[in-house]
Structure 1
Amino acid sequence: MSKTKWGFKVHEADDIQRNLDWLQSQLEQLFVSDETSHSARKRIVCDIGFLIFPLIVLTYNVLFALTKNTALIITGVLQIPFALISICWLIRGRIRWPHLSHYVLAGILFMDTTVGIFSGQGTLLGTHFYYLFFTVGVAVVVPSNMPRFTWLLMLVNLTCFTLMEFFGVPAASEIAAMDLEHLKSFQMLVFLSMTLSISAAVYFADWSYFVLEDRLIKLASQDFLTGLPNRRAFHSHLKRKQASAKATEGSYCICILDIDHFKKVNDTYGHDIGDEVLKFVAQHLKDSVRVGDFVARLGGEEFVLFMPEIDLTDAIHVAERVRKAIDMCVYEGNGITIHVTISIGIIESYPDATDAELFELADQALYRAKQNGRNKLEIGTRSTVTYV
């Protein structure tokens, strides 16, 4: 029954893995691309812009409706399609054409502002100051590997602002007839929305930097196939725990685990099945160790287990539990049944032990387990350390 149950779990895991792979590919498109990290940050700011812009349009439409000024309401309604385009692009276009986001956002904002001005608002409400904001915002949004495009957009927006500021665009008669108090309120709203927008852009540029950095660290420290930490992450974890153990005079144990006859699995069933077996073993390792233990994949068919605050006797019980758990289960998938076993070499820490010495001892113990018939656990002793 357990075998059948595990067989179904393998298929479910495949579906989950496919979804996770798709999600990771989307995250990699968002955070890791052929652009520089600075460019990726700016594309994230683009996405924030696609969210902020519809909110601004909605706010203006509500306020315009409250004034009951027909000309203002019309200019607000004419801007709604641009907000819808922004939302649609964020939902659909961002996934299909992520590298066009900065172009699309710049076009939407520029055209919306232009339509708002020439459909009746004119320069009376101060909306043309958005062009000045765009001049500054271009440097934040457009990727740094497009300097000519950046300078062109800045020049176009600065020119539009300068022409409208000095020559003006007349507002519709109904808007021009508004009382001074309402005009000042709308002008204040324009400047407030610009200030909030550029503040949000700067804030999210900094925030996205930390998100990007964290994502890159995770990608660099995780084994993509099994989801376990990789060799780099293990050595980093080991150094921290060694320092802690030295301060408290505590002991810890390290196990090196190797899948028996793994080359035969690859040669017989192919590397795809070999990958499934690796994931099968990785899952059992995670399920069988104690809370607080650290499991990582060293590479190939080799795994490593770090057990903190434990003596050799208890560590052997944990390692044997892991070995027996894998021995008792059979991998089933794609019509194939494989009995998987592992060999283990274990070593307990001792004063002034280095990473290299502990790994050498555990590796020699693993070698003896292989020589003695596999599917065994052997204990490393300090007398077996050899130095080259």
Structure 2
Amino acid sequence: MYPMLKPALRRAWRGRNTVQFGVTPAHAVTLGPVDLATGSFLELLDGTRGLPLLHEEARALDLSERHVDTLLARLTEAGLLDDPRSAGQGADVLCRRAEVMDRQRPDVASLSVVRPEPGGGTRRMAARRAMRVQVRGAGRVGASIASVLSGAGVGHVEVLDGGRTEHGDVAPGGLPPAAVGERRDVAARRLVRRSAPGPAPRRAGTDGAAAGPPGSAGQPGLSLIVVAPRDGLAVYAPVADTAGPWIASGTPHLYAGVIEATGVVGPLVLPGGTGCAGCLELHRADRDPQWPRMLAQWRSGRRGAVPACDLGLATAVAGLAAAHALAFLDGDLPSCTGVRWEAALPLLDWRSEPIGPHADCSCGAAGGAMRDRTSGALPAQDTMAG
């Protein structure tokens, strides 16, 4: 073990014997009482010394071995210690790729703040490289989401869309002006490769041979589908049948898009556990009996020539959706789980709407929620509503 204080958390003395790690309330931790010798010892925790050397240098400061071990235990329990060397083999492979790590250091530092265990940030970054995410849509929102996910270390990012890139698809962080006229899927694949911190990792098969590219038999399973079509109606009122195969296969999926100057992120659907697109449509019909009639007209009618998709709003939606997706891939349930977030121009006041399971939906989430209530456990939706 080569312990180091997490460098991402700034330190300051709150008084003569109390140290605060971190600036913001979300992640700040205070440690005390800390005497002068212990404060000097904290400066030695920079990842260059193993425990034997730390014990030796502590003795020079008149600190006992027991005092050092107790201090290290407290720092570990508080989530303040890091040790990248303990992150495992996958992380070791990542750390040896200097060109990749140079790009990912800010991301690893961020992960180290939210992952309390030593080596947690590097371990999570290595795990991202083995994941596969599919983004459905290569417009202003979808292409930017794919770019961010790839740049954040997700090893396999696929983008599905048809047609050719139009001028209105171009966005900073998304498809470039040079892609206009090119097939959207081809341009999106190039964007993903250009955004990645390094070549996509190859997975070893059962026979030790390297697996092929996405689409081959040896590709990793889908960790998440991000639904970000250019037609914002397909996000605001998604067609339930489209999500049927994802519900059946248990594939988590997240909706994100812009419609009529309104940004939408969520819900993140966990099949069998949270409300789905079918639940959303049924709930709306319960509140507004005329909704199905109007929705049929909107879906079948002629669309306007130019969608109302403000570039700043599209970029904000893409960034928020990508951040939620990464939080889920890293093992958390972000606030869009079973919840839709909306913000409309010009005020951009983000508001949330829980999308609970509907008893009449065939997805089965309502039955699962009822079983959880019967057993005394809280379903995911009830937990997130707080």
For the criterion TM > 0.5, the same-fold answer is no
TM-score by length of structure 1 reads: 0.21
**Structure having greater relative contact order (Cα 8 Å, sep ≥ 6):** 1
TM-score by length of structure 2 reads: 0.21
Compare CA radii of gyration and give the structure with the larger one: 1
